[in-house]
């Protein structure tokens, strides 16, 4: 399929956390706030002159220093982020808002404070949101209050307007931007999708690492261009990728190079969940709390295992996935247990599933390629058997 | 066989508790032998608990006097507690709740409920026999669980997958303790059991008043859940009784800490953490717990007055960080005999030291006190909350117990503590504190053998502490295939 020129900007934003648009926004006096997890609501960090940058470590390789601090038995995403921080990659940030999401990421983020990363920078602050692990009314109210506290830090250090009106405006803009992303995402549902998984993955990652207001026009142009082109028809299987943090489209590209077409993305940095509309009426802080806890599909949330399984099946059906790649980060206990429950059930229901344990950095390419190839062949052979049986 | 200990008094102690242990075990059988036989088929791991007297023997090799007595008392009460636990499943489990090992059990006691701790086999079996749980770990790994997760929940999940944890239970109660693996493992049970479930969510930043109040609300939710599913009501007077006993335990605990800080600490090594582990995590405020604590304290005070230290050759005072070596239960005895090392406190036992006592004046104060207690319990406080709890507590312990060095049991499956290892080393270096981090796997001695652990200690003692062993013949022992 012909490459879209409109993708170039998005692709260029992924090489460095301090990308062209981030640099431009900072030069305009805006404040970049780093965050680590879906549970840190983006609209919160988009208030006033602030904008969020989700922490990534593109080009991560050796994590020697971070491994010294955190041991080799910790998820390589947490280590890579710390390594990047120690290398000065995040020096451009004006603050960090973390969520105590999982142990690895939380401990990794604690090192930012302990090692005083950026601590001497004027105005710099860190705040850790205590996100409950279950859905209940006191938990929503507690989180809403905690989000207000995080906002107060933004106000205290940078004079950002954190009023309800300001946050509601931010939510409205967030919803408008997400409606564009949803439009792009929906193109994947067609039998001949007009956008590849790699392209969509690139856009999603870029949208989390650059100011969204600067991406609106490029995104509109991209959607228009994609709609005009012919759909993809030369794929062998439609794949859903799910699991741990997944912010390198090169992985998706590798799967697609083998003939798979990644049509659904249920992982951190993905769109399932992530593009749902947030309520704009009522208390905006409470709305954020309810929305982000309610839609979070991370296994850190207790009590939602069955719900997660259901939404996984729902999405697989909606995007017509032929198989699921269940990718988990090595040493991730949460996804390890999730796979223990989910994988056998999916297999029993005749959904081809392959479990891939991987590192954050793009390593082991040959092995991944072989496994993706084998998986696609498995899907094809199952399809063939079914056809013959009929 | 019981080995002669050199004097009649010690020999009598050995014999007495050997007999009492067997009597306790037989007490389980005597009540209903038929059901016990059935249970042995359903839960075959119970057989391995019969190795307990061998464990006592391994603990007490070369020990005499009060240390020997305390060790025997500890195991005896653990057996009694285990028998109590087993009764909740052996005689039928339909009205029993399956629970996680770190739930406010005071509430069950107040409501008179039957509970079985899912992690009980995982906690006890590797202590009895280092290889007895290998099959459970292999089974669950074959089912798809990564082999690098903590072996504590991994064994439990294996026992569950083998069908050797009761499934016909009244409900499941769990939480997000002691760690994420533990929390996630209960999702697996919940998914398979299909029984009413309640999950407590201990907040991350529990020192904040709002977070503590949130947990109080959550505990109210647990009480409402239990009332709904059992038809019983919360008995607040009973809770007051339980918490009063818990407060008495705290008074004793503080006195124990004072004694441990003295020149002649009468209590050391596993005798500290076993009693604390059981009485603070599994059955705090239970009648047996206070009896156990009182019994130990009576002998401790006498030894303290006589200036009788727990070790005959006490050469090094240490504090232990991270969970103790379950798959090498008698490691402590080796440490005593080979190097004269006494562990005077540890992470399991060193909970919060602010507001340890629970105000029992009203239902509100009791709930709030309970919330604070469980937010600050072992591992909740240290290995999942803010970093401020993890390292400062360690330095505080080091000074408070006048330690010579810190022993860190580097359990490779423990993400939270592994992730702090670098900061810990750097900070210890800045403070000039010798720190011995030995790598091991909590309950899987195939990852790091007993000798593998000993080698790491031997290297540290020779190279850092510049010490010579008390007994050279103990430096290398071939015990990798033994119990």
* Residue A378 belongs to a domain: no
Residue A57 lies in a domain: yes
Beta bridge partners of B70: none
Dist. CA A26–CA A254, nearest whole Å:
34
Nearest to A337 among B187, B416, B418 (CB): B187
Query: Count of H helices and E strands in chain A?
Result: 15, 8
Alpha helix (H) residue ranges in B32-100? 33-42, 52-59, 65-90
A150-A154-A159-A161 Cα dihedral, nearest 10 degrees? -60
Distance CA A43, CA A54 (A): 13
| A130: nearest Cα among B356, B176, B182, B347 | B176
Contacts of A115 in chain B (CB under 8 A): 423
Q: Determine the distance from the C-alpha atom of residue B111 to the mean position of all C-alpha atoms in its chain, rounded to a whole number.
A: 24
Determine the pLDDT at residue B353: 63
Domain that holds residue A89: 19-165
Asked if A128 and B204 come within 8 Å (Cβ–Cβ), the reply is yes
B135: tokens are 């099959």
Residue range A22-28: mean pLDDT, rounded: 98
Name the residue among B201, B208, B416 with its Cβ closest to that of A103.
B416
**Which residue, chain included where needed, has tokens 């590797």?**
B126
Q: Which two tokens stand for residue B347?
A: 């992470």
**B142: exposed, middle or buried (Cβ count in 10 Å: 0-12, 13-18, 19+):** exposed
For chain B, give every domain's residue range. Answer: 8-474
For residue B375 the two structure tokens come to 């937010």
Looking at every residue in chain A, the average pLDDT score rounds to: 95
With tokens 């409205």, the residue in question is A172
Burial of residue B93, with CB atoms counted within 10 A of its CB: 0-12 exposed, 13-18 middle, 19 or more buried: buried
Chain A residues closer than 8 Å to B423 by CB: 69, 111, 114-115
Measure the CA–CA gap between B311 and B146, rounded to whole angstroms: 41
Q: Which residue of chain B has the CA closest to A76?
A: B419
In a domain, A39, yes or no: yes
Report helix angle B387-400 to B421-431, nearest 10: 40
Using CB atoms, pick whichever of A306, A333, A340 lies closest to residue B143: A340
Q: Give pLDDT, residue B448.
A: 94
Cross-chain CB nearest to A333 (options B140, B180, B214): B180
Tell whether the model's pLDDT for residue B327 goes beyond 60.
yes
In angstroms, what CA-CA distances link B247 with B112, B220, B381? 20, 22, 19
- Mark yes or no for CB contact B422/A132 under 8 Å: no
Helix (H) or strand (E) holding B116: strand B114-117
DSSP B310-360: SSTT--EEEEEES---GGGTTHHHHIIIII-EEEEEETTT----SS-SPP-
Who contacts A282 (Cβ-Cβ below 8 Å, separation ≥6)?
Answer: none
- Give the whole-angstrom CA distance, residue A151 versus residue A166: 11
d(CA B321, CA B324): 8
Distance CA A289, CA A279 (A): 11
For residues B449 and B440, give the distance between their C-alpha atoms in angstroms, rounded to a whole number.
Answer: 8
Helix (H) or strand (E) holding B117: strand B114-117
pLDDT of residue A3: 85
Contact list in B for residue A306 (CB cut-off 8 A) is: 191
What is the Cα–Cα distance from B110 to B363, expressed in whole angstroms? Answer: 12
Q: What is the tens place of the pLDDT at every residue in A192-238?
A: 999 999 999 999 999 999 999 999 999 999 999 999 999 999 999 99
Calpha distance A80→A96 (Å, rounded):
16
State residue B380's pLDDT score.
Answer: 84
Other beta carbons within 10 angstroms of residue B377's beta carbon come to 21
Tell me whether strands B197-200 and B171-175 are parallel, antiparallel or unpaired.
parallel
pLDDT at B188: 95
Q: Quote the DSSP letter at residue A213.
A: G
Q: Are B179 and B119 in contact (CB under 8 A)?
A: no
pLDDT at B259: 96
B1: pLDDT strictly greater than 60: no
Q: Do A333 and B208 touch (CB under 8 A)?
A: no
**Cα gap B454→B333, rounded to integer Å:** 12
Residue A40 pLDDT class (50, 70, 90 cuts): very high
Two structure tokens written together for A106: 């939380």
Determine the residue among B145, B180, B426 to mutate to test chain A binding: the one whose Cβ has the most chain A Cβ atoms within 10 Å: B180
The Cα B391–Cα B3 span in angstroms is 43
Contact check, Cβ <8 Å, B144/A337 = no
Nearest CA distance, A82 vs chain B (angstrom): 11
Mean local confidence (pLDDT), B318-328: 93
- pLDDT band for A102, please (50, 70, 90 cuts): very high
Is A146 within 8 Å of B210 when comparing Cβ atoms? yes
Which SS3 state, helix, strand or coil, does residue B441 take?
Answer: coil
* CA–CA separation, A57 and B433 (whole Å): 35
Residues of A in contact with B218 (CB under 8 A): 136, 138
Collapsing DSSP to helix, strand or coil, B308 comes out as: coil
pLDDT tens column, A278-287: 999 999 999 9
- Looking at residue B354, its pLDDT comes to 62
From chain B, the residues in CB contact with A299 under 8 A are 184, 187
Contact B334, B474 (CB under 8 A): yes
For the stretch B41-64, pLDDT in tens is 999 999 999 999 999 999 998 899
CA nearest neighbour of B198 among B169, B178, B218? B218
Chain B residue numbers with beta carbons less than 8 Å from the beta carbon of A113 are 387
Count residue pairs from A and B with Cβ separation < 8 A: 144
Q: DSSP assignment, residue A2?
A: P
Proportion of chain A above pLDDT 70, given as a percent: 100
Sheet of B114-117, strand order = B114-117, B96-99, B171-175, B197-200
Q: Is A318 exposed, middle or buried (0-12, 13-18, 19+ CB in 10 A)?
A: middle
The contacts of residue A109 (CB under 8 Å, 6+ apart) are A36, A96, A98, A126, A128
Kindly state the average pLDDT of the residues B310-331: 93
Q: Cis before residue B178, ω within 30 degrees of 0?
A: yes
CA distances from B22 to B5, B25, B37, B52 (A): 20, 5, 17, 9
Bridge partners, A239 (sequence order): A262, A323
Instruction: Please tell me what DSSP assigns to residue B168.
Output: S
Comparing CA positions, the residue from A109, A89, A95 lying closest to residue A15 is A89
Task: Inspect the interface and report whether the beta carbons of A331 and B148 lie closer than 8 Å.
Answer: yes
Contact (CB<8Å) B185/A337: yes
pLDDT band at residue B474 under the 50/70/90 scheme: very high
Instruction: Classify burial at A388, counting beta carbons within 10 Å of its beta carbon; exposed 0-12, middle 13-18, buried 19 or more.
Output: exposed
Phi-psi bin for A66: left (phi > 0), alpha (psi -120 to 50), beta? alpha
| Residue A273, preceding peptide bond in cis (omega within 30° of 0) | yes
Q: Residue B482's pLDDT band (boundaries 50, 70, 90)?
A: confident
Q: How far apart are CA B347 and CA B408, in angstroms?
A: 10
Q: What is the pLDDT of residues B365-386, one digit of tens each?
A: 999 999 999 998 878 888 888 8
Contact residues, chain A, for B416 at CB < 8 Å? 103, 107
Q: What is the pTM of this model?
A: 0.95
Nearest to B349 by CA among B258, B251, B253, B249: B253
Per-residue pLDDT reduced to its tens digit, A126-143: 999 999 999 999 999 999
Q: Report the pLDDT averaged over residues B399-422.
A: 95
State how far the Cα of B365 lies from the Cα of B360, in Å rounded to an integer: 6
- For residue B2, pLDDT over 70 is answered with no
Please report residues of B whose CB lies closer than 8 A to that of A114: 387, 423
Residue B436's φ and ψ, nearest 5 degrees, are -110, 105
- Joined tokens for residue A239: 């794949």
Residue B132 has φ and ψ, to the nearest 5°, of -70, -20
Q: Is A89 contained in some domain?
A: yes
- Convert the pLDDT of each residue in B209-247 to its tens digit: 999 999 999 999 999 999 999 999 999 999 999 999 999
The span from the CA of B163 to the CA of B182, in Å, is 18
Distance between CA atoms of residues A27 and A22, nearest Å: 9
| Residue B336 and residue B342 in contact, taking contact as beta carbons nearer than 8 Å | yes
Chain center to CA of A49: 23
User: In Å, how far are A106, A127, A130, A140, B438 from A113, measured between CA atoms?
Assistant: 11, 10, 16, 27, 27
- List the CATH number of the domain containing A142: 3.40.50.11890
Which residue stretches of B162-235 are H helix? 180-193, 209-230
Contact B184 A338 (CB under 8 A): yes
Phi first, then psi, for residue B280 (nearest 5°) are -95, -30
C-beta atoms surrounding A15 within 10 Å: 11
- All residues at 6 or more sequence positions from B324 whose CB lies less than 8 Å from its CB, including other chains: B270, B273, B331, B332, B346, B348, B409
Q: In chain B, which residue's Cα lies nearest the Cα of A130?
A: B204
DSSP structure class, residue B362: S
Helix (H) or strand (E) holding B373: helix B363-375
pLDDT at A38 over 60: yes
Per-residue pLDDT at A61: 83
Mean pLDDT, rounded, for B305-333: 94
Q: Is residue A295 part of a domain?
A: no
Q: What is the pLDDT of residues A330-389, one digit of tens each?
A: 999 999 999 999 999 999 998 999 999 999 998 888 999 999 999 999 999 999 998 999
CA distance B170 to B172: 7
In chain A, the number of structural domains is 1
**Structure confidence by residue, pLDDT tens digits, A256-270:** 999 999 999 999 999
């Amino acid at each position: 399929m012909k490459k879209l020129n409109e993708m170039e900007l998005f692709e260029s934003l992924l090489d460095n956390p301090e990308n062209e648009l981030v640099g431009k926004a900072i030069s305009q006096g805006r404040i970049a706030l780093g965050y680590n997890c879906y549970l840190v609501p983006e609209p919160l960090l988009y208030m006033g002159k602030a904008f969020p940058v989700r922490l990534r470590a593109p080009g991560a390789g050796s994590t020697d220093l971070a491994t010294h601090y955190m041991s080799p038995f910790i998820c390589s995403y947490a280590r890579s982020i710390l390594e990047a921080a120690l290398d000065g990659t995040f020096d451009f940030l004006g603050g960090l808002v973390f969520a105590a999401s999982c142990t690895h990421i939380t401990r990794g983020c604690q090192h930012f404070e302990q090692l005083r990363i950026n601590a001497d920078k004027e105005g710099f602050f860190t705040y850790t949101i205590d996100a409950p692990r279950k859905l209940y009314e006191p938990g929503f109210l507690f989180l809403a209050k905690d989000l207000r506290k995080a906002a107060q830090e933004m106000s205290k250090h940078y004079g950002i307007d954190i009023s309800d009106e300001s946050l509601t405006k931010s939510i409205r803009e967030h919803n408008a931007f997400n409606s564009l992303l949803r439009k792009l995402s929906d193109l994947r549902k067609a039998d001949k999708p007009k956008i590849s998984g790699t392209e969509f993955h690139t856009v999603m990652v870029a949208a989390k690492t650059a100011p969204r207001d600067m991406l609106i026009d490029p995104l509109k142009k991209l959607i228009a261009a994609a709609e005009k082109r012919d759909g993809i028809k030369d794929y062998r299987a439609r794949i859903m990728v799910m699991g741990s943090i997944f912010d390198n489209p090169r992985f998706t590209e590798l799967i697609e190079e083998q003939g798979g077409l990644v049509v659904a993305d249920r992982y951190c940095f993905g769109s399932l969940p992530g593009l749902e509309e947030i309520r704009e009426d009522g208390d905006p802080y409470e709305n954020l709390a309810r929305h982000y806890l309610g839609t979070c599909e991370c296994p850190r949330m207790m009590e939602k295992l069955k719900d997660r399984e259901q939404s996984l099946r729902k999405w697989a059906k909606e995007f017509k996935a032929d198989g699921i790649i269940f990718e988990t980060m090595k040493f991730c206990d949460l996804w390890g247990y999730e796979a223990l429950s989910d994988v056998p059930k999916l297999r029993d229901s005749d959904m081809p599933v392959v479990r891939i344990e991987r590192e954050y950095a793009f390593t082991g390419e040959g092995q991944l390629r072989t496994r993706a190839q084998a998986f696609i062949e498995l899907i094809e052979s199952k399809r063939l058997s079914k056809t013959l049986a009929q | 066989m019981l080995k002669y200990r050199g004097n009649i008094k010690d020999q009598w102690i050995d014999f007495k508790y050997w007999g009492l242990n067997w009597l306790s075990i037989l007490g389980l059988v005597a009540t209903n032998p038929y059901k016990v036989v059935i249970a042995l088929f359903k839960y075959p791991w119970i057989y391995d608990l019969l190795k307990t007297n061998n464990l006592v023997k391994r603990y007490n090799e070369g020990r005499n006097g009060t240390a020997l007595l305390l060790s025997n008392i500890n195991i005896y009460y653990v057996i009694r507690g285990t028998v109590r636990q087993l009764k909740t499943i052996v005689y039928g489990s339909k009205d029993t709740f399956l629970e996680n090992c770190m739930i406010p059990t005071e509430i069950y006691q107040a409501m008179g409920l039957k509970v079985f701790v899912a992690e009980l086999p995982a906690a006890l079996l590797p202590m009895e026999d280092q290889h007895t749980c290998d099959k459970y770990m292999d089974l669950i790994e074959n089912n798809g669980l990564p082999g690098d997760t903590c072996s504590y929940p991994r064994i439990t999940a294996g026992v569950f997958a083998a069908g050797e944890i009761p499934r016909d239970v009244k409900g499941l109660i769990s939480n997000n303790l002691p760690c994420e693996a533990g929390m996630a493992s209960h999702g697996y049970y919940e998914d398979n059991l299909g029984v009413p479930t309640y999950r407590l969510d201990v907040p991350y930043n529990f020192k904040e008043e709002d977070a503590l109040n949130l947990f109080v609300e959550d505990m109210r939710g647990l009480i409402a859940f239990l009332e709904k599913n059992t038809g019983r009501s919360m008995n607040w007077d009973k809770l007051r009784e339980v918490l009063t006993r818990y407060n008495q335990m705290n008074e004793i605990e503080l006195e124990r800490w004072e004694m441990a800080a003295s020149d002649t600490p009468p209590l050391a090594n596993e005798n500290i953490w076993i009693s604390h582990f059981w009485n603070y995590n599994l059955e705090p405020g239970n009648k047996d717990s206070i009896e156990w604590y009182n019994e130990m304290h009576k002998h401790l005070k006498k030894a303290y007055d006589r200036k009788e230290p727990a070790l005959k050759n006490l050469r090094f005072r240490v504090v232990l960080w991270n969970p103790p070596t379950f798959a090498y239960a008698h490691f402590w005895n080796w440490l005593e005999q080979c190097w004269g090392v006494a562990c005077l406190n540890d992470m399991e036992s060193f909970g919060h030291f602010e507001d340890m006592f629970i105000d029992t004046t009203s239902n509100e104060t009791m709930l709030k006190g309970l919330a604070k207690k469980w937010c600050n319990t072992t591992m909740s406080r240290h290995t999942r909350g803010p970093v401020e709890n993890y390292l400062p507590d360690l330095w505080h312990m080091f000074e408070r117990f006048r330690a010579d060095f810190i022993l860190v049991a580097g359990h490779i499956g423990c993400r939270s503590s592994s992730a702090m290892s670098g900061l810990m080393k750097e900070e210890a270096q800045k403070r000039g504190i010798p720190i011995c981090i030995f790598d091991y796997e909590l309950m899987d001695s195939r990852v790091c053998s007993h000798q593998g652990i000993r080698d790491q200690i031997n290297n540290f003692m020779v190279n850092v502490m510049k010490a010579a062993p008390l007994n050279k013949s103990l430096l290398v022992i071939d015990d990798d295939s033994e119990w």
